[in-house]
Structure 1
Amino acid sequence: MNRLRVSVFFFFIICILFSPAHPVSHAAQIPVLTATAKQKPAIAVRSAGKSISASTSQIITLGRKGDIRAVKTRAGRATGSYLPSIRKKISARSAIVIDARTGDTIFAKNADVPRQPASTIKILTGMIALKSLKEKETIKVSQRASRMPRSKIYLDPRKTYQASDMIDAVLLASANDASVALAENIAGSEKEFAEMMTLRARLWGAKNTVCRTATGLTARGQQSTARDLAQLFRHVMQDEEFARRINRTKVRTSYGQVLTNHNKALWRIKGAVGGKTGYTNAARQTYVGMFTRGSDSIVVAIMGSETMWDDLKHLVEYGFKRKQQIQLVRAETEKKQKKEATLN
């Protein structure tokens, strides 16, 4: 009898050990996609366990962390390859891609974590100066402004300069001396100007941005987020004069100095229409900019990067692909809903 009990016990143990595991994990993120020649190619979109379908020529999977993988189908057979997760391809600690028209988030990674913004914050300095000064208004340069560290255009405190030239120096050459000179002429001091920057940031939808400098140089209590930078840049690019200035690769000042834009994306990445770079030891590499292809526009913000230009290329390509895929899903869903409405 005891031998029988022992045999039964071991039988159940063996059944448990060799039984199939419960199907979970990847199935929730990457469903198995199959199709036959008789089936219509379908689009399957799944996010957090929910899915919708519509007739189209692509299969799309939304992962739980926001990554999209797409497989094109031809005659019911997969011919493309999965789009690799963008998170694995970027070094940035924080990043976001938003729709420039609607402000909707397309991709986000730690987008609301506060970090030092470095020179990306100069988009506020430049925009406030554009709205506060006339182009040929005279700008004086204090000893303090002239002693700012690089990057700078080496302003001479014995001379005066035109406001237009100083704004270009801020937006293109990321000049710290020009930033402080503008701040002091507009608000009386850089501290007062920084408070103005913080207020404007709030008004323009950046709720987690606090400015302590006009330059973005590291300062205690100064912070922004990838989401705030993207929102600010989306706002300032609606101003035609700001957008015109920041789009130029080079400009000659009224006193003959040539200013070169630090934003290499203008000649490296298709569709770049304007952007602002930044770097400090504390912030690492930062960037915010807009890209347009056809009728689509996106804004990309990066903070805490070690490979900024590579990160930017990956995020721009990913952003446009995902935007197109989302639009495709919406269009097919609306089409299906209209068809069902007419039938009812």
Structure 2
Amino acid sequence: MSRPPRPSPPPAEPQERAVGGPALDTAGLVVPAGAARPPAVTAISWLVADLDTGQVLGGCGPHEYGTPASVQKLLLAATMLPRLDPQQVVTVTDGDMDIEPGSSAVGLVAGGRYRIETVWLGLLLQSGNEAANVLARLGGGPDGMAGGVRAMNEEAHRLGALQTHAVTPSGLDGKGQFTSAYDLALIARACFADPTFRRYALTEAHRIPAQPAQRTKGFEIQNENQLIYRYPGALGGKTGFTDLARHTYVGAAQRNGRRLVVTLLGAEPQPARGWEQGAALLDWGFSLPRGAAVGRLVEPGELTASAAATPSVLAATGEPRPAAASGPLEDGLVARWPVAAVVAAVIGLLGAALLWRRRAGRRRPS
């Protein structure tokens, strides 16, 4: 099917592509030995993992860069849910309503007063982009929405999602905004560890209150994620779509004491919609025996802690080097500068020592 031109991703970093295990460093299919072939999907990349053990059951191009669309709202949730009081009443500003015309909105109004819990439900049920702006602004501190996006990137770094860089809080396309199927699994795992998120993700409907001062009536919203209605054991997730990203999806379910998550990037809705492709991959994952894996999801803070090790230790253990929270270093210049400085200093010291020896030799009696 015809697609709009894909944005150019950042240069591939070998250390980042090996996060979770060397088998995940592939643009193709990776499944456990002897496993049945997974169902065919239209997604450019995908991954299935165990939410509890962190085992990666399989994937296709798990570390390939992709455009997130609204599944980026999960990173916003992972970042801001611990920061914001759900019972606090907040006022929506004109700036919060600055979203792309025709893009997904829940129906909040400037000047309206809403509980933060209502804003979260507007974000997760109806993918409201204005709701994303509100939450990023509130959680961003003195810098407002910009601070919120910066906090999202810091959280991605902490989780080990080194290929993720947020530019907008909502997932509306922005230059340099990327993620990967592996990173989305890390982010989803953090979300599903939060009981408040789990409750929101399974909420089927919520009423947005009337705003008499703005002369707007109340109305009801429904959860757009069809997985919760049609897949036994569904735990929820998030849908996404933009012209550039195409269809993106994150979904989770439980069966026989196992909780699995599936992530998809760059899918087309035919012959099956994103949630249906996710459901088929979940079925495949549940069919695998426990312990079958091709890699693992790193733990929050694990890669940050390994950055404190010396370079020789990192090289010896094969631990990946974390990227800057703001994204990959441009041309690697920041990373190479300290090495060049050390080399120059060593050369200077050797030259000074040689000059001293020559002068001392001239003064020594024959």
What TM-score, normalized to structure 1? 0.68
Aligned counterpart in structure 1 of residue 173 of structure 2, from 218, 224, 237: 218
Where structure 1 has 5 or more consecutive residues not aligned to the other structure, the ranges are 1-47, 49-63, 71-82, 328-344
Cα 1:323–1:103 change in 2 (3 A) is same
Aligned partner of residue 131 in structure 1, secondary structure: coil
1:112-191 → structure 2 map (5 Å cutoff): 112-149=63-100, 150-187=103-140, 188-191=143-146
Q: What CA deviation, in whole Å up to 9, does each residue of 1:60-116 have, x standing for no partner? A: xxxx8427767xxxxxxxxxxxx5x326x1110000001111111111101101111
Answering whether residue 71 of structure 2 is matched by residue 109 of structure 1, we say no
Shift of 1:323: 3.7
Aligned partner of residue 228 in structure 1, secondary structure: helix
Counterpart in 2 of 1:209?
164
Aligned counterpart in structure 2 of residue 263 of structure 1, from 203, 206, 225: 225
Answering whether residue 19 of structure 2 is matched by residue 66 of structure 1, we say no
Aligned partners of 1:167 and 1:313: how far apart in 2? 25
Please report the RMSD computed on the Cα atoms of aligned residues, expressed in angstroms.
2.3
1:245-256 → structure 2 map (5 Å cutoff): 245-255=200-210, 256=218
Aligned partners of 2:166 and 2:249: how far apart in 1? 17
Answering whether residue 288 of structure 2 is matched by residue 288 of structure 1, we say no
Counterpart in 1 of 2:199?
244
Conserved 8 A contact 2:92-2:109: yes
Cα 1:224–1:65 change in 2 (3 A) is closer
Where structure 2 has 5 or more consecutive residues not aligned to the other structure, the ranges are 1-22, 24-28, 211-217, 294-366
Aligned partners of 2:61 and 2:119: how far apart in 1? 34
Counterpart in 1 of 2:38?
86
Cα 1:199–1:323 change in 2 (3 A) is farther
Conserved 8 A contact 1:90-1:310: no
Shift of 1:325: 8.3
Aligned partners of 1:294 and 1:203: how far apart in 2? 31
What TM-score, normalized to structure 2? 0.64
Conserved 8 A contact 2:249-2:275: no
Counterpart in 1 of 2:153?
198
Task: Give the 4+ runs in structure 1 shifted more than 4 A.
Answer: 67-70
> Identity of counterpart residues, as a percentage?
29
Aligned partners of 1:65 and 1:154: how far apart in 2? 42
Cα 1:136–1:106 change in 2 (3 A) is same
Aligned partners of 1:235 and 1:325: how far apart in 2? 21
Shift of 1:136: 2.5
Q: What CA deviation, in whole Å up to 9, does each residue of 1:309-331 have, x standing for no partner? A: 3321220111100245849xxxx
Aligned partners of 1:309 and 1:288: how far apart in 2? 8
Aligned partners of 1:316 and 1:271: how far apart in 2? 11
Q: What CA deviation, in whole Å up to 9, does each residue of 1:111-157 have, x standing for no partner? A: 10111111111012223332222123232222232242321022221
2:87 partner letter? K
Aligned partner of residue 108 in structure 2, secondary structure: coil
Conserved 8 A contact 2:78-2:190: no
1:320-339 → structure 2 map (5 Å cutoff): 320-324=286-290, 326=292
Aligned partners of 1:201 and 1:65: how far apart in 2? 24
The structure with more radius of gyration:
1
Answering whether residue 51 of structure 2 is matched by residue 100 of structure 1, we say yes
